[in-house]
Structure 1
Amino acid sequence: MPFPQERPRRLRRTEALRGLVRETTLAPDDLILPLFAAPGQKVRRPVGSMPGVFQLSVDEVVAEAQAAYDAGVRSVILFGIPTRKDATGTSAWDDAEPVQQAVRALKERVPGLVVMTDVCMCEYTDHGHCGVLKPAKVGAPGSELVVDNDATLELLVKEAVSHARAGADVVAPSDMMDGRIGALRAGLDQAGFDDVPIMSYAAKYAGAFYGPFRDAAESAPVAGAGIPKDRKGYQMDPANAREALREVALDVAEGADMLMVKPAVPYLDVVRQIRDRYDLPLAAYHVSGEYAMIKAAARNGWIDGERVLLETLLCCRRAGADLILTYGAVEAARLLTGRRP
């Protein structure tokens, strides 16, 4: 056999050579840390299904965000555990609620931090859905309910404006209502927040990876007469990829500044298709179930958790994500920089 002239291994021989030709990089400022803001003071309540993740009072949110910033993570996204819930989620746009308080505190105490806020109703409604409910067919017999798309848009605008008024740098609607980006853009502009960008959860799938998040945010749909048992009526079918491109096209046309795919790893094909077609900044959400599986396998000694976390996030970047939302942001940042707590 002739001696091979093509020897790719030549460029893999040392770490220095591998680093020289590396196609994809992962850095701490590619990462966004989700945080859960709760009522009270000195609250640091562990989330059992997500090791290292807590429900945090505002003072603890600031401490956690400062630690993340010191590790190199430059962005956080806030979710809220409200003081009260009702059918229409009125706490979502209450300026005295934990998210709004946390935004103000973070802008004052960690001024270099990019503060994003999740805009949705699921944490605030007593039924756990991402919008207000109405009868499936007005005047028809039975008690089946559905989420009222257009009525929900008005409430999402109120929530986004409240977050912007508190000082949020970016608002990120995750509800998957039709027309939400256009409604939020118009509402923010009318309220004088035309410079606040929108990061759209453009392709959010009704998948099975969200369980630990719903523990943390206390946002699981509540079983009850006529209440939908899941969110399949408005979040995307995991079987569909072309539909994601349609959703993205609509959001871009309505004024989205940034795009997101959620979850991340099971949908990296979708990330790649969106990246190949659109130039807007693109995020992937490495969701709670993905994070929890790594932690559980690592605790059982089945994998090297640190290496798997970094490899997972790197693969999100390789697929085309500019940014990654992950509960492992601080751990990953410290591993990348060699900074230990």
Structure 2
Amino acid sequence: MNIGDFHRGRRLRRTAPLREMVRETELRPADLIQGYFVVDTPDAGFEKPIGSMPGQSQFSVERLVVRVGKAMDLGLRSAIVFGLPQKKDPAGTGAYADEGIVQRAVRRLKETYPELVVVTDVCLCEYTSHGHCGLLNDHGEVLNDPTLELLAKTALSHVRAGADIVAPSDMMDGRVGAIRVALDAAGFSHIPIMSYAVKYASAFYGPFREAADSAPAFGDRRGYQMDPANTREALREAAADFAEGADILMVKPAMPYLDILRLLRDNFDTPIAAYQVSGEYAMLKAAIANGWLDPKRAVLESLIGIKRAGADMIITYFAEEVLPWLK
């Protein structure tokens, strides 16, 4: 081979301006959705750090409003809210109560920051005394169809409170359709649904159980969340939710399922979301705390990888931390 006959890729990597000029994937503030945990408490100043998620806390409504305001000053555009009620019961009634914790938090956020895109997680697990995502029969099995009505009521209560997007995460069959029908019938046909379409039964949810106090009292959720070994099933689940009216399809978790994320990107024209879950966040934070990883480089690389695989938007607990780096 003669000198000059081979590809010289380094020509476009030589300087920072050249690298920026040919960069294929860009991470923007608008791509990031920060997750927040709000607690139903009479203590307006309540703020409790989450041990397994360094840098994250549970907030009262008042403290949440303050925290979100600071994040918006950094460029935050959207947030997803998870609620922790004072009381739980078998039917998860706190999930769809007009004065439930998420409903009150959404009202305050939208009153204070009307430009903020507020997404709400639609599920019953944080509100049921048994910790599962739906109603149970006498044998402790989750009942799919009777749960749909409660999920639709929950989504509708969130939208009436001011939510811009509802995101059902329960993995009940038919829940997107049930929610779409309920929203349309109530005059909210303009509200989009971000479906947790492809949600795996993952070990990476562990820290979230502490953050949201949502661990099952018995058993696990493998009977309704997806088997991590399956790929083709992801296409079936996504297609079903899309047919029922989902406007955004989500893959959860993100990093262990980048192949699935790319699969959805290649097969659906709808916007695709990915959820960098609590376990992914906790692992990176632990390695950073031990000095094993550079914080900025590692976190940005993890998010760029998710974006490159096909995500249009990313739910991540790193959003607040990352925003100053994107200016």
| Match for residue 287 of structure 2 among 293, 297, 320 | 297
Report whether the alignment pairs 1:34 with 2:29.
no
Report whether the alignment pairs 1:169 with 2:161.
no
The percent of aligned pairs where both chains have the same amino acid is 61
Map of 2:181 onto structure 1: 186
Give the aligned residue type for 2:261.
V
Map of 1:90 onto structure 2: 93
Map 1:304-323; keep pairs closer than 5 Å. Answer: 304-323=294-313
| Match for residue 157 of structure 1 among 117, 134, 152 | 152
Report whether the alignment pairs 1:16 with 2:11.
no
Give the aligned residue type for 1:111.
P
Give the aligned residue type for 1:232.
R
Alpha-carbon distance in 2 for matches of 1:219, 1:309: 27
Alpha-carbon distance in 1 for matches of 2:260, 2:222: 18
Report whether the alignment pairs 1:50 with 2:40.
no
Secondary structure of the corresponding residue to residue 261 of structure 2: helix
Report whether the alignment pairs 1:4 with 2:4.
yes
Report whether the alignment pairs 1:277 with 2:272.
no
1:27 positional shift: 1.1
Give the aligned residue type for 1:239.
A
Report whether the alignment pairs 1:65 with 2:55.
no
1:305 positional shift: 2.1
Q: Answer whether contact 1:74 1:114 (CA < 8 A) is retained.
A: yes
Q: Answer whether contact 1:35 1:78 (CA < 8 A) is retained.
A: yes
Map of 1:209 onto structure 2: 204
Alpha-carbon distance in 2 for matches of 1:220, 1:165: 28
The one-character-per-residue Cα deviations of 1:198-220 (angstroms, maximum 9, x if unpaired) are: 00000000010001011000000
Map of 1:110 onto structure 2: 113
Give the aligned residue type for 2:73.
D
1:2 positional shift: 1.4
| Match for residue 142 of structure 2 among 131, 139, 147 | 147
Give the aligned residue type for 2:199.
K
Secondary structure of the corresponding residue to residue 261 of structure 1: strand
The one-character-per-residue Cα deviations of 1:287-308 (angstroms, maximum 9, x if unpaired) are: 0000000000111111112211
Give the aligned residue type for 1:237.
D
Alpha-carbon distance in 2 for matches of 1:21, 1:145: 55
Give the aligned residue type for 2:319.
A
Give the aligned residue type for 1:123.
E
Question: What's the TM-score, normalizing by structure 2?
Answer: 0.98
Alpha-carbon distance in 2 for matches of 1:325, 1:188: 24
Map of 2:241 onto structure 1: 251
Secondary structure of the corresponding residue to residue 203 of structure 2: coil
1:4 positional shift: 3.5
Alpha-carbon distance in 2 for matches of 1:4, 1:47: 57
| Match for residue 324 of structure 1 among 311, 314, 327 | 314
The one-character-per-residue Cα deviations of 1:90-110 (angstroms, maximum 9, x if unpaired) are: 000112122111111111111
1:335 positional shift: 1.7
Q: Answer whether contact 1:83 1:97 (CA < 8 A) is retained.
A: no
Alpha-carbon distance in 2 for matches of 1:64, 1:203: 30
Question: What's the TM-score, normalizing by structure 1?
Answer: 0.94
Map of 1:141 onto structure 2: none
Give the aligned residue type for 2:177.
G
| Match for residue 133 of structure 2 among 126, 130, 134 | 130
Q: Answer whether contact 1:120 1:130 (CA < 8 A) is retained.
A: yes
Stretches (4+) displaced over 3 A: none
Gaps of 5+ in 2: none
Output the aligned Cα RMSD. Answer: 0.9
Give the aligned residue type for 1:16.
P
Alpha-carbon distance in 2 for matches of 1:36, 1:249: 30
Q: Answer whether contact 1:57 1:98 (CA < 8 A) is retained.
A: no
1:60 positional shift: 1.2
Secondary structure of the corresponding residue to residue 324 of structure 1: strand
Alpha-carbon distance in 2 for matches of 1:149, 1:245: 21
1:83 positional shift: 1.7
Give the aligned residue type for 2:276.
H
